């Protein structure tokens, strides 16, 4: 009996399992109820009583050896099968993915806006994204009870109600005015934050470009000429521009800037709400009190300021209808700008 066990043990150890068919053959020969191991267990009844205990133990070891080898090879073959399945699912006829990087549409529009205004003599200004109350609100003539100061509109820093994420790049305007003497002609592009629900037309994080010019005898006509030039350069010579009276705490008089709709060419559509016009930003003459807040003599100097959303300009230029596409990192969207 022991010779049969040793012979069967050698047979189990020498059995080579190279594929699923061999594994199935091994299973039938050594692990099922009609296998060679099972037949040896049937012969245990013929073994003398004084040897049954030791022979039974050897048979159990033999059974465990066969079962362990089967399970280990089953796991290997299943793993290999999954790997082969993944390879087979790859469509080798598809073109290789383009690994070259490309500039984001917002980056391209921002650089184009800066380029246009730079040719008019505007220099770049910078400021922090985390601002204090003075630069973000007070110096810009926001009264203490203004809605923009409320929690539902602004992201305040916890435990410090005087510190918040800046809500506009106008805060950079104040910092530049505090550290420079007129004449000043500066641009302030940057990221801003407002506590708004994210939708196709609004986001809590977006980008603005602020511009302002302070000197002696600066007029509203100078503002209009600068913006006319920008619109024609950015959107083409056929675009019309208009100014609508409005109100901002830091400019007086103030105006909204509209351009003729690029989608319907001014005829009226859903994008322009059938008005033929689309707003691109706000502008106006800098309030004398804002100049005085920055130690600039408002009796000697005047200035204008304007601000535009970079996302809004990009949406109009490329006819994009969902603001969320700029931040979702969808390659199908971003690859459309590879050649621009």
SS3 for the chain is: CHHHHHHHHHHHHHCCCCCHHHHHHHHHHHCCCCCHHHHHHHHHHHCCHHHHHHHHHHHHHHHHHHHHHHHHHHHHHHHHHHHHHHHHHCCCCCCCCCCCCCCCHHHHHHHHHHHHHHCCCCEECCCCCEEEHHHHCHHHCCCCCCHHHCCCCCCEECCEEEEEECCCCHHHHHHHHHHCCCCEEEEEEEEEECCCCCCCCCCCEEEEEEEEEEECCCCHHHHHHHHHHHHHHHHCCCCCEEEEEEEECCEEEEEEEEEECCCCCCCCCCCCCCCCEEEEEEEEEECHHHHHHCCCCCCCCEEEEEEEEHHHHHHHHHCCCCHHHHCCCCHHHHHHHCCC
Compute CA distances 174 → 123, 141, 161, 179, 292, whole Å: 15, 11, 20, 9, 11
Residue 85 binned pLDDT confidence (cut-offs 50, 70, 90): low
How many other CB atoms are there within 10 angstroms of residue 144's CB atom?
A: 8
What is the architecture of the domain spanning 110-337?
2-Layer Sandwich (3.30)
- The average confidence (pLDDT) of the chain is 87
The contacts of residue 282 (CB under 8 Å, 6+ apart) are 246, 248, 251, 254, 255, 256, 257, 306, 307
pLDDT value of residue 75: 87
Per domain, the residue ranges of the chain are 2-89, 110-337
Indicate whether 126 pLDDT > 80: yes
Q: What pLDDT was estimated at residue 100?
A: 65
150 pLDDT more than 80: no
Most confident of 66-75, 97-106, 119-128, 266-275: 119-128
Residue 112: φ, ψ to 5°: -65, -40
pLDDT value at 157 more than 90:
no
For residue 188, list its beta bridge partners: 210
User: pLDDT tier at 232 (50, 70, 90 boundaries)?
Assistant: very high
**pLDDT band for position 4 (cuts 50, 70, 90):** confident
- What contacts 199, CB < 8 A, 6 or more positions away? 323, 324
Q: What percent of the chain has pLDDT over 70?
A: 93
Mean pLDDT of 170-187: 95
> Which of 13-17, 101-105, 127-131, 202-206 has the weakest average pLDDT?
101-105
pLDDT digits 0-9 by tens, 260-284: 988 777 787 776 788 889 899 999 9
What is the structure's pLDDT at 226? 96
Whole-model pTM: value is 0.67
pLDDT of residue 86: 58
């Amino acid at each position: 009996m022991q010779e049969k066990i040793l012979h069967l043990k050698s047979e189990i150890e020498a059995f080579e399992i190279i594929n699923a068919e061999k594994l199935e053959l091994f299973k039938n020969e050594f692990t099922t109820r009609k296998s060679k191991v099972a037949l040896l267990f049937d012969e245990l009844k013929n073994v003398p009583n004084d040897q049954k205990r030791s022979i039974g133990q050897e048979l159990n070891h033999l059974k465990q050896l066969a079962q362990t080898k089967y399970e280990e090879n089953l796991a290997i073959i299943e793993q290999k099968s999954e790997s082969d399945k993944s390879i087979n699912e790859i469509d080798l006829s598809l073109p290789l993915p383009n690994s070259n990087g490309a500039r984001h549409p917002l980056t391209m529009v921002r650089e184009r806006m800066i380029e246009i205004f730079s040719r008019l003599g505007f220099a770049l200004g910078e400021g922090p994204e985390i601002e204090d109350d003075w630069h973000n609100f007070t110096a810009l003539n926001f009264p203490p009870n203004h809605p923009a100061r409320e929690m539902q509109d602004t992201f305040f820093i916890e435990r410090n109600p005087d510190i918040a994420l800046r809500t506009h790049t106008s805060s950079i305007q104040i910092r530049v005015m505090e550290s420079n003497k007129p004449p000043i002609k500066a641009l302030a592009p940057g990221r801003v934050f407002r506590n708004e629900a994210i939708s196709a037309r609004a986001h809590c994080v977006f980008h603005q470009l602020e511009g302002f010019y302070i000197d002696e005898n600066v007029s509203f006509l100078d503002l209009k000429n600068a913006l006319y030039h920008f619109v024609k350069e950015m959107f083409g010579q056929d675009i019309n521009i208009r100014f609508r009276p409005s109100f901002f705490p830091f400019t007086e008089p103030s105006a909204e800037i509209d351009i003729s709709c690029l989608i319907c060419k001014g005829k009226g559509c859903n994008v322009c709400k059938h008005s033929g016009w689309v707003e691109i930003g706000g502008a106006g003459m800098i309030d004398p009190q804002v100049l005085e807040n920055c130690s600039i003599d408002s009796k000697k100097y005047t200035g204008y300021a304007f601000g535009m959303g970079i996302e809004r300009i990009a949406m109009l230029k490329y006819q994009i209808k969902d603001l969320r596409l700029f931040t979702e990192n969808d390659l199908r969207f971003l690859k459309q700008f590879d050649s621009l």
